Structure 1
Amino acid sequence: MPTTLAAQLAALELGHVSIKAETGTQCLVRPDPEAIDQTLAAVWSDLFALFTDTILEGQAEELGWGFVNLFHRAAGKASTRIERATDEIRLLLATNDGSEIHTAELEQQIERAQAADVEMLALENLRETAAALYLAETGSSWKPAGGSRLSHDALTTSAVVQGREFLKARAEGRRRAAMPQGTPVVFAGGRQSFASADDAKTYGDAIWRTLDRVRANVADLVLVHGGDSKGADRLAASWAERHKVPQISFSLDTRLGARAGFRRNEQMLGLKPRYVVAFAGNGVLERLVIQARAQGIAVVDRRGPLGTNPKHNALIQTAAAAA
């Protein structure tokens, strides 16, 4: 005797009948933010307490990175599904014949895109909460191994019910994620080595203190930097995340070879920043300062030892020599 519904339909010669979920019934409710905070904080605490005083303690930072990346990858997959559904929506709009079948297909693709959109936003919320835990644990801003860490704003496209409106809202959401609203401030600094841990701390404090002062003059600051995971950019990114300041990271295009750094300079200055905050670096950074001044962009120069103003430092040395 047939045991499955499909087998029973086949036995009744009703194989042409199909069963599918009713459209519009998928839950689009995102997890409660407070519940996300509490749950991930508890998981994180228990997980890293497990590593303490064990052979895995040295792996804690890498494992924490992977914990955040779990949600980042899942959000990326949801974003890919949105793109596929969006392509289908464009195609259906271009071939619209007014038929009921065509209309039903369009509505189905919009529903798929809406569901993936809400799913992506929920996963990004989880990622950002986990990234905040990573920052508190390691003192460093979390950065994906490849690609960008975009955070789409709260204006979700899931409320849109028309194809063309969906496409327009989707494009606007991507633009806002890639370019946050505010006043760009470029930060640049290279990798440094220090004689002592105290010198390293002094340098890090100088970066944070400088950015605090710049932010006092630019309330809607958007921090623009190169995204280096080991240099001064890392300290600046940690400052931005700690203070909930939007960031734009311009990675090097390695296909350009030796030209890559200069191309990145052009891209960052192309945003018309209010300031360029410059700490010590290589010749590419020096060129950035020269170009910024030539374009009338104010430079906050901290290329002296341990993040000091080089002119101020020179005056101190001159005075000391004269004494």
Structure 2
Amino acid sequence: MYDTFIDHLAGLDLSGFSIKPAPFTQTDLPCDEAINQTLAGAWSDLFAMFADTALEADAEDIAWGFVNLFHRAASRKSSRLDRASDEIRALLASADGSEIHSSNLDEQVARAQAAEASMIAFEQMRETAAALYLDEIGSSWKPMSGSRPNHSAKITSAVVDARDFLRTRAERRRAAHSPEGTPIVFAGGRSSFATTDEAKAFAETVWATLDKVYDQVPDMLIVHGGDSKGVDRLAASWAERRDIQQLVFSLDRRLGARAGFKRNEQMLSLKPRYVIAFPGNGVLERLVIEAKAQRITVVDRRCPTGG
């Protein structure tokens, strides 16, 4: 059987045949309607399959992974864009005016533009899937580590040459990772409730408080610790529903017992307009004390029910 296969293979006319990567000059990408309809349909079918089965308890993990597929794809394209940008810089530094050099430069710019377009498309898919996650799970999606940038927010025009491309790339990267607005620090710990009604009432208090502050600070940037099992989860969900930027200060575990206090320092260094405080531990109490010492207004909701 093996010899027969080799004989057939040897008889094939493979002259002129080669395997090439997908053309980087391809610019057609899925339209918004296709992305929205396809992901919504896939999401609906996937979770309908889990409903009323022994796997229903695992739905949240599967939902997180679904969004993460697009986040990882966008990250890979971002890495490819970084490599292409490095090549452009090297070519600019060694410019000799030759036709070959110019051709190589044009090719690298085209590669970089294609990688950027793909990255933005995958980010759009991630954001669409993240909205489905929010509706299904009730909390904001975030990656295991790192941030969730959105490079499409500041795009206004196409890049026309290598130097413009590099400058625009740097500006977009800064914009994606540097949210703007008036900082509002939100802090609280983990709470337990005797009944579902009590938990719902607490969540409504959190959202109502944030809505009142938002009325006063329409350009608010909400700053929190990103605890997915505490009240931060409610704040993150509220912010995503309102399309408000979030700045997450996760604990630096290397600092041990000082991690919480260091985070307090970092958040207060932003000079926030308000600190919103819900029930928490001693680290949160210290945050409130330090905020008042710095004459920062504290919206105090530390009674057990958050009122």
TM-score, structure 1 length as denominator?
0.85
Correspondence 1:96-175 to 2 at 5 A: 96-156=95-155, 159-175=158-174
Larger deviation, residues 58-67 vs 28-37: 28-37
Following the alignment from structure 2 to structure 1, what is the Cα–Cα distance between the partners of residues 136 and 89?
44
Q: Which amino acid aligns with 2:48?
A: A
Does the C-alpha gap of structure 1 residues 110 and 240 become closer, same or farther in structure 2, counting only changes over 3 Å?
Answer: same
Q: Contact 2:182 / 2:221 at 8 angstroms: preserved in 1?
A: yes
How far apart, in 1, do the equivalents of 2:49 and 2:21 lie? 43
Per-residue deviation at 1:121? Answer: 0.8
- Partner in structure 2 of residue 36 of structure 1: 35
Q: Alpha-carbon deviation of 1:22?
A: 11
- Write the distance in 2 (CA, Å) between the matches of 1:78 and 1:120: 5
Find the counterpart in structure 2 of residue 284 from structure 1.
283
Partner of 1:4: 14
Q: Which residue of 2 aligns with 1:206?
A: 205
The equivalences for 1:193-232 within 5 A come to: 193-232=192-231
1:165 maps to a residue whose letter is: D
Q: Structure 1: 5+ residue runs without aligned partners?
A: 8-17, 309-323
Structure 2 equivalent of residue 264 of structure 1 = 263
> Where does residue 320 of structure 1 map in the other structure?
none
Counterpart residue type for residue 128 of structure 2: T
- 1:76 is displaced (CA, Å) by 0.9
Tell me the residue number matched to 2:242.
243
Deviation track 1:197-229 (CA, whole Å, cap 9, x = no partner) reads: 222222111111100101111111221111111
Deviates more, 1:43-52 or 1:259-268: 259-268
Offset at residue 232 of structure 1 (A): 0.7
- Aligned 8 A contact 1:275 1:299 in 2: yes
What is the CA–CA distance in structure 1 between the aligned matches of 2:196 and 2:22, rounded to whole Å?
Answer: 62
- How far residue 251 of structure 1 moved from its aligned partner, in angstroms, is 1.5
**Secondary structure at the counterpart of residue 185 of structure 1:** strand
CA contact (8 A) 2:25 2:111 kept: no
CA deviation profile, 1:132-188 (whole Å, cap 9, x unmatched): 111111111112122211222333488213222222211211111112222221111
Q: Contact (CA 8 Å) 2:154, 2:175: kept in 1 or not?
A: no
- Are 1:299 and 2:298 counterparts? yes
Q: Secondary structure at the match of 1:277?
A: strand
Q: Letter of the aligned partner of 2:124 in structure 1? A: N
Report the TM-score when normalising by structure 2: 0.89
8 Å CA contact 1:228–1:234 kept in 2: the answer is yes
The superposition leaves residues 9-31 of structure 1 with CA deviations (integer Å, 9 ceiling, x where unpaired) of: xxxxxxxxx998998x7232432
CA drift at 1:258: 2.3
Deviation at 1:302, TM superposition (A): 0.9
Aligned to 1:15: none
1:71 maps to 70
Amino acid corresponding to residue 3 of structure 1 in structure 2: D
Measure, in 2, the Cα distance between the counterparts of 1:172 and 1:122. Answer: 19
CA contact (8 A) 1:115 1:158 kept: no
User: Equivalents in 2 of 1:142, 1:156: separation in Å?
Assistant: 24
Percent sequence identity over aligned pairs: 63
Asked if the contact 1:152–1:174 (Cα under 8 Å) also holds between the matched residues in 2, the reply is yes
Q: Distance in 1 between matches of 2:93 and 2:226?
A: 40
Which residue does 1:317 correspond to in 2? none
CA 1:147–1:217 in structure 2 vs 1: closer, same or farther (change >3 Å)?
same
In 1: Cα distance, 2:193 partner to 2:19 partner = 68
CA distance in 1, matches of 2:109, 2:258: 43
Q: Is the 8 A contact 1:157 1:170 kept in 2?
A: no
Q: Which ranges of structure 2 fall in alignment gaps of 5 or more residues?
A: 1-10
User: Matched residue of 2:185: which SS?
Assistant: strand
Instruction: Tell which deviates more after alignment, 166-175 or 132-141.
Output: 166-175
1:86 aligns with 2:79: no
* Whole-angstrom distance in 2 between the partners of 1:181 and 1:153: 15
- Residue type of the partner of 1:250? F
Alpha-carbon spacing, 1:138–1:96, altered in 2? closer, same or farther (3 Å): same
